[in-house]
Amino acid sequence: MAARGSAVCRLGSFAVKPGGRLFSQSQSVAAACTAEQLAEKIRAQKQQKTPKQEVPKDPVLRRVQELVQLTQQLQRVHPNVLAKALKQGILYQNKEIVVINKPYGLPVHGGPGVKICITDVLPILAKMLDGMNAKPLHLCHRLDKETTGVMVLARDQDTADRIHHFFRTRQVEKKYWAICIGEPESPDGLVNIPIMEKEVESHQSHFKMTVAPNYRVSHEDGKMFKIRQHRDAQKAVTRYRILSSASSCSLLELQPVTGVKHQLRVHLAYGLGCPILGDHKYSHWSKLAPQDLSICNVGGLLLF
């Protein structure tokens, strides 16, 4: 008896191939069933249409949905597609530099769970701008994955070195906008508190940056006294200004004078008591957990 799709004769509980080899019928049937089941599963997955997400009527929620979708798409696109998207977001360019608008959710460097990043597509972007013989562009600084904003790329190593020097010597003025929970007591000011990395000992043991102030307040009489600076503490200075506030949130303009790791997040959360909205790491000290804040509380703030 010929089997489907192959010249195989079956004898009893065994099948004989044209070459004369025997193999168990039960094994072949099991394999066939498995293959049929797999084929059906693949067909079902292809036929299954992903339900369309309902578009929110609220413009704030609609923008949030767009950003989330963009983040997911950027991790799945081909490098050429990402390079083209960065090219469309160019803000300025000349013979020395290219200034791009870094999208939300796109990492600058690779790492665990990162499928594609900006450094991966710099050679492709350079060729799109200057032809196939173009040299790769050079990163001059970095931004966090969740941060959007201006990024400067250099066309050659000498230019990149000069711009690196400008950043190191604080000749570049950087400003950030951040939505924070709560509102600082003063409408503007300077946070000058050293920062250091410390291990958090809890059920979720982890490391995070924290403030290491030079002064403390006595619990007995309420007087301020100076303490010895920790040897691992780094000087950290941040200027801030309230741009707008509504309900339980505020929009701050931040200007880092120094460049310590996670400086803005730490100064806002532990210096001013106003953590950045969505910052699960620095909203609490002893745990890593999302903030408990309804999106409706920031609706009026984003539409100013």
Enumerate the active-site residues: 144
Residue whose token pair is 């990024």: 151
Measured CA to CA, the distance from residue 233 to residue 227 in angstroms comes to 13
Q: 193: closest CA among 216, 174, 170?
A: 216
Q: In this structure, what is the dihedral angle of CA atoms 207, 210, 214, 215, given to the nearest 10 degrees?
A: -120
In a 10 Å sphere around its CB, with 0-12 CB exposed, 13-18 middle and 19+ buried, how is residue 124 labelled? buried
Residue whose token pair is 């490391």: 207
| H or E element at residue 120 | helix 118-130
Query: Could you tell me the two tokens for 253?
Result: 């303009």
| 171: DSSP letter | -
